[in-house]
Every structure is written in structure tokens, then in C-alpha cells.
Amino acid sequence: MSIIAFFSKESNIELQNLWENRLQAYSPSIRLVPLLSNEAHDATIALLWKPPLEKVKKLSNLKCLISLGQGVDHILKDNIIDYDMPVIRIVDPFMAKSMSHWVILSVLNYIRDTFGYDYQQKNKIYKARKEIDFTSLKIAVYGVGAIGSVVAKDLTQLGFEVEGWSRTEKNISGINCYSGENRFKVLLKSSDIHVCLLPLTPATKNIFNNLSFKMMKHGSCFINAGRGEQVVEEHLIVNCKSGHISSAILDVYREEPLPKNSKLWEQQNVRIWPHVAAETNPETAAKQIANAIKCIENGKMPPNTIDRKVGY
């Protein structure tokens, strides 16, 4: 029997049972127990999303931690977890396509001024609004890994000019990809729409700040589905208020759920999504998680084990 400690930010027995049923389809010996229960002390693996890390650290029998999502910053936070503990992330084509759909939706809403038409409908205004010429736009995708590369390619297939930036240089057919601080600044200055899909690491924390926003063209659009800590929200609000950033579409925030007293709610050219751009789907992710569990039990390192040095 493989005992797996389970925790999700919306932890409940129904969600736990759903994951257990999906995993047992690949390995009937898998049993999920709540992370906060006494049974968790017998667990050899933990399946987690935004868990109480001090509780995780106390489970002495753990051999590895598996993130319930693409990101692992919620596990690496504050270096509470031992450096030698293997951490595995999910890399799921379903999640990549879901993210691509959300980014495309956000880009098209911006270009066709969907929110302006929403305002006109509420006020019974029947009038054409200005459409942005998509052929003159350049879209920068920051973070062109397993998810970002799919987003960049899908945007290209829709006729957009897309360039990518990442920590290390990538080779994606049909897309100019860059790396390094200098090229980051070049993309900031030359692009019209900025899409952040970066992993959260010490190097990307606060990467979008007042200096970054000021480098962008006046009237740029900023889209963030990476991590909230990559954006200095006060700086974004200032640049949205001035119109330097004409539109910001956000799915992630420094504090989640987004507090009701956040000034982001009040900014008319900021669109708020509740971290749903690419949610983990048990139907499509269970197979690779079950395989990771099998690898650990057999003394092997699973696919998608992160490099702690770089943080993903």
C-alpha cells in the first residue's frame, strides 16, 4: 500500500477522493490520507498544493513531494523543506492548452475592446469602437517552457508576431527566443503586449516593477498568469492610472484570494481573474503522478523532478 499525504488549498474529502480514484485507476495500491491527519505520519510521498510547510517538514518518512500544479514555489517558499528532498511538478498538455486558451482570450479581448463594448451595452450605446490592428502588434511571452512554448506557438498560428524570453535560451520553430537581462529590456521596449508565464524564482521575484513598466511602450497591455510575486502591484496600479499601461489582465496576485481592500479591484483598466487560467485536471494529470509514485517506490528519480538550484 502506497500512503500519500494529500493537501490542496481547497482541501476537502470530495477532492481527495476524486484524486484517489483517478490515481487508483493506474495503481490500485495508492491510498490518500489528509496531510493534517495522524495517518500522514506513515506517508512516504506527499501530493500538495500550498500546504502548511512546517507540517510537511515534520513527516519523517517522506521520500518526495509532488506539486499538484506546474509551479513549485509554494513548496520551496522560505526554504523550509530540506534541500535534498526531491520535488516533482506536473507537466500536462491539457494545462498548457488551457493556459493558451486563456492568454488568447485575453489578447483578443484587448484587441477587440470587449470590455468597452460591455460598458456600451450596459449604457445602451450602439457605436463602433476602435479596433487595434493586430498585424502591427508584437507580443512578448516571458517564460517559454512547457506551457509558454505552447502559448507562443498558438499565438503565432493566429497571425501574431511573437517573441519569447526565458532564463536559458530556447529553440522554438518559428519564434525568436531570447535570454539574458539585456534582451529582457529589449523586449520590454519593443513589444505591445506583454505576457508573463515565468516560474517564480529569486531571479523573477518583482521582475515587473516601475522600471520595467516604464520601459514598455505607452499604452501597452500587460497580462500575468505567472505568479503574483513577480509583479510589484503598487507600481502596476500607478502605471495603469496614468494610462502608460492601457490594460492589465491578471490571474495571479501577491496575496490570494485577492483581498477585498486591494486597489486592483478599483482600477477600471485592470481585469481580475481568480487564478483559474490553467487549473490542474485530475483526469489528465493522474497518469504522470501515478508514474512518479511508482518511480519513487522503485528507487528511481521521476520525470519532471525540479532542479533546486534554479527553482523549477
Identity of the residue numbered 306: I
Q: What pLDDT score does 32 carry?
A: 98
User: Does any domain span residue 305?
Assistant: no
Q: Report pLDDT for 1.
A: 86
Residue 218 lies in a domain: yes
216 DSSP 8-state letter: S
Residues 117 and 69 occupy one common structural domain: no
- As a residue count, the chain comes to 312
Residues ≥6 apart with Cβ < 8 Å to 59: 5, 40, 41, 43, 46
How confident is the model at residue 11, as a pLDDT?
A: 66
The answer on 245 and 162 residing in a single domain is: yes
User: Which phi and psi (to 5°) does residue 55 adopt?
Assistant: -70, -40
Cell (9 digits) for 205: 521575484
The candidate with the shortest Cα–Cα distance to 234, out of 272, 275, 199, 206, is 206
On whether both 48 and 119 belong to a single domain, the answer is no
Residue 248 lies in a domain: yes
pLDDT at residue 74, rounded to an integer: 95
Peptide bond into 202 cis (omega under 30): no
> What are the cell numbers at 161?
508576431
Q: Give the number of domains in the chain.
A: 2
> How many CA atoms within 13 Å lie on the side-chain side of 114?
9
218/261 same-domain check = yes
- List per-residue pLDDT tens for the chain, 312 residues long: 899 999 997 668 999 999 999 999 999 999 999 999 999 999 999 999 999 999 999 999 999 999 999 899 999 999 999 999 999 999 999 999 999 999 999 999 999 999 999 999 999 999 999 989 999 999 999 999 999 999 999 999 999 999 999 988 899 999 999 999 999 999 999 999 999 999 999 999 999 999 999 999 999 999 999 999 999 999 999 999 999 999 999 999 999 999 999 999 999 999 999 999 999 999 999 999 999 999 999 999 999 999 998 888
Distances (CA, A) of 47 to 108, 119, 290: 36, 43, 11
Q: What is the pLDDT of residue 310?
A: 86
Question: What one-letter code names the amino acid at 271?
Answer: R
The answer to whether residue 307 sits within a structural domain is: no
Q: Are residues 152 and 210 in the same domain?
A: yes
Longest CA–CA span in the chain (Å) reads 66
Residue 310 lies in a domain: no
Range of the domain at 191: 93-272
Question: Would the pTM count as exceeding 0.85?
Answer: yes
Q: How confident is the model at residue 311, as a pLDDT?
A: 86
| Per-residue model confidence (pLDDT) at position 70 | 87
- Give SS3 for 46: strand
d(CA 151, CA 122): 33
Q: Within this chain, do residues 200 and 117 fall inside the same structural domain, yes or no?
A: yes
With H, G, I as helix, E, B as strand and everything else as coil, classify residue 200. Answer: coil
Residue 312 domain-assigned?
A: no
pLDDT of residue 104: 98
* CATH number reported for the structural domain that contains residue 21 in this entry: 3.40.50.720
Query: 302 lies in a domain?
Result: no
